[in-house]
Amino acid sequence: MTAITPPPDLTGRVALVTGGSQGIGYAIAAELLSRGASVTITARKAEPLAASAAALAETVPDGAARVLGLPGHAGDAASREETVATTVRRFGSLDILVNNAGVNPVYGPLMEADLDAVRKVFDINVVAGLGYLQQAHKAWMGEHGGAVVNLASVAGFRSTGLIAAYGAAKAAIIRLTEELAWQLGPGIRVNAVAPAVVKTKFATALYEGRERQLADTYPMKRLGTPEDVARLVGFLVSDAASWITGETVRVDGGVLSTGTAG
């Protein structure tokens, strides 16, 4: 079956994708590139990031001029400021922000959770995203407008037990998205996407050794792919979604319709 190539409806726009060196972040960066945007990806580890940036650049004819990899820690305020400033210097604007960077070092009952690890979950998954948006707002979006997509999760809608701290942080992202949409409209649209289990290295612990069993609980009978999420993000940041803001769109294979979170 021949793949349908999306129209290049982001030509001339500039995007920053955090946590963009692998998995969902990488797929989002590739999607935005395919639609005509220039893209900065950022992540902590410099060498894998450089390799990912080089691979992305090879996916489009003028990729070397449209892809920038900037190492940086999402939890560090100075790093966030420098990443945004460098993106604007390099490409001349910052029209799209995708807050994808996230961590999940806490599994199991919350009564046994290390509180420093819980703080890290909220700092990287929630506070850092707000920090990136503050910088983007100051550097470009506040005056010129833009589109923001935050990565939430179905765990932010429904308790899972296994990843409770992560789910609580993603619930905060959903609520934060609504608040930001109200405060920043009409110039800046802010939405979120909420995936269920997507086959990435990040989510391996959730499906390894039981992928078929887990997939059978989803109405679509498969787990998600990074591209499933990326295509939705590409739509939400485009003009085709110009009257959509404050929404958290589920991309979950229907799993929440079954009354569970996967």
User: pLDDT tens, 6-32?
Assistant: 566 999 999 999 999 999 999 999 999
Q: Does a structural domain hold residue 262? A: no
Q: Does a structural domain hold residue 258? A: no
Cα three-residue angle 165-100-22, rounded to 5 degrees: 110
Residue 198 forms beta bridges with which residues? 224
CA distance 95 to 79: 19
What confidence score (pLDDT) does residue 261 get? 67
Q: Does a structural domain hold residue 82? A: yes
Structural contact between residues 32 and 15, judged by C-beta atoms closer than 8 angstroms: yes
Residue 248 forms beta bridges with which residues? 192
- Residue 111, amino acid: M
Evaluated on CA atoms 224, 235, 101, 262, the torsion sign reads negative
Domain span at 158: 14-251
User: pLDDT tens, 199-244?
Assistant: 877 766 666 667 788 788 889 988 889 999 999 999 999 999 999 9
Q: Count of domains in the chain?
A: 1
Residue 116 pLDDT exceeds 60: yes
- pTM of the predicted structure, to 2 decimals: 0.94
Evaluated on CA atoms 28, 151, 76, 132, the torsion sign reads positive
Catalytic residue, from 26, 107, 132, 166: name it: 166
Q: Does a structural domain hold residue 2? A: no
Q: Does a structural domain hold residue 86? A: yes
User: pLDDT tens, 64-79?
Assistant: 999 999 999 999 999 9
Q: Give, in order, the Cα–Cα distances in Å from 111 to each of 58, 107, 126, 166.
A: 48, 11, 22, 14
Tell me the DSSP string of 222-246. Answer: S-B-HHHHHHHHHHHTSGGGTT--S
Q: Does a structural domain hold residue 7? A: no
Q: Residue 166 catalytic? A: yes
Res. 142 pLDDT band, cuts 50 70 90 = very high
List the CATH number of the domain containing 168. Answer: 3.40.50.720
Contacts for 162-165 with beta carbons within 8 Å, 24 or more apart?
Answer: 162/107, 162/108, 162/206, 163/104, 163/106, 163/107, 163/206, 164/106, 164/109, 164/110, 164/113, 165/104, 165/106, 165/110, 165/113, 165/117, 165/118, 165/121, 165/122
Q: Does a structural domain hold residue 40? A: yes
Residue 155 pLDDT exceeds 70: yes
Q: Does a structural domain hold residue 175? A: yes
The beta strand positions in 19-143, using DSSP E, are: 38-43, 67-71, 96-99
- Residue 174, amino acid: I
When the pLDDT of each residue in the chain is averaged and rounded to a whole number, the result is: 92
